[in-house]
A = this chain, B = another copy of it.
């Protein structure tokens, strides 16, 4: 079983599935399951079993033929591959409705992402508190992050402001951005952006409702 596949770049869908597998393994661990086969994980995630095995093959060999995978060990391997061993510091821009909710969303901290600063451009919001954090002026973001050194930013502002905010984050040294604004901001190469448009998700559902 020499692993030739490990030389190839894992595909984008593969990376997105790794996160699903970690989630599944975490749930299995909670239930006290020690070992799982690729078929077990396939059943729980809806991913094809061969797909699961091929996804892993880009990174190494983690299973035992005839037995399956050690749940805890595989979870640790995948967390390591995804860069989740260390906690991540995250900047949040936008202290409106959605931003406030994201600041208090327990899932982030539970899984190792800590929001360390919140920014806005609205003078009425600057200085107020969201949880433990005081909302700061977005103009001060690059300076503030020179100290905090967060490498991930979350954008929760209206579409019209998104590009300016993204530019500010990049100027502040942020290398990865999760954008909730319904816009497609442009960034220089080397910066990763993921766009999550909540309304767009509903629009896709709307399409399938009538087809």
Interface residues of A (CB under 8 A from B): 15-16, 18-20, 22-24, 27, 44-46, 81-84, 88, 90, 97-98, 100-102, 104-108, 110-111, 113, 151-152, 159, 175-178, 182-184, 192, 194, 196-210
Contact A113 to B199, CB < 8 A, known contacts A97-B104, A101-B97: yes
List of B residues within 8 angstroms of A203 by Cβ: 18-19, 22, 82, 84, 111
Q: DSSP class of A's interface residues: helix, strand, loop or mixed?
A: helix
Query: Could you name 12 residue pairs across A and B whose Cβ atoms are closer than 8 Å?
Result: A44-B184, A82-B204, A83-B206, A84-B203, A97-B104, A105-B198, A108-B202, A151-B209, A152-B202, A176-B209, A192-B205, A194-B201
Q: Provided the pairs A16-B204, A22-B203, A200-B23 are in contact, do residues A175 and B108 lie with their beta carbons within 8 angstroms?
A: no
In the complex where A27-B159, A182-B107 touch, is A19 in contact with B196 (Cβ < 8 A)? no
- Smallest distance from the beta carbon of A90 to chain B beta carbons, Å? 7
Q: Which residues of B contact A196 (CB under 8 A)?
A: 196, 198, 201
A82 near B206 (CB under 8 angstroms)? yes
Q: Which residue of B82, B84, B205 contacts A194 across the interface (Cβ within 8 Å)?
A: B205
Interchain CB contact under 8 A, B205 and A152: yes
Complex contacts, A84 vs chain B, CB 8 Å:
203, 206
Instruction: Give Cα A209 to B107, complex, Å.
Output: 20
- A111 — which chain B residues lie within 8 A by C-beta? 199, 202-203
- Residues in chain B near residue A105, CB distance under 8 A: 97-98, 198
Cα A152 to Cα B23 in complex, Å, equals 25
CB distance from A173 to the nearest CB of B (A): 12
User: Chain B's nearest CB lies how many Å from the CB of A94?
Assistant: 11
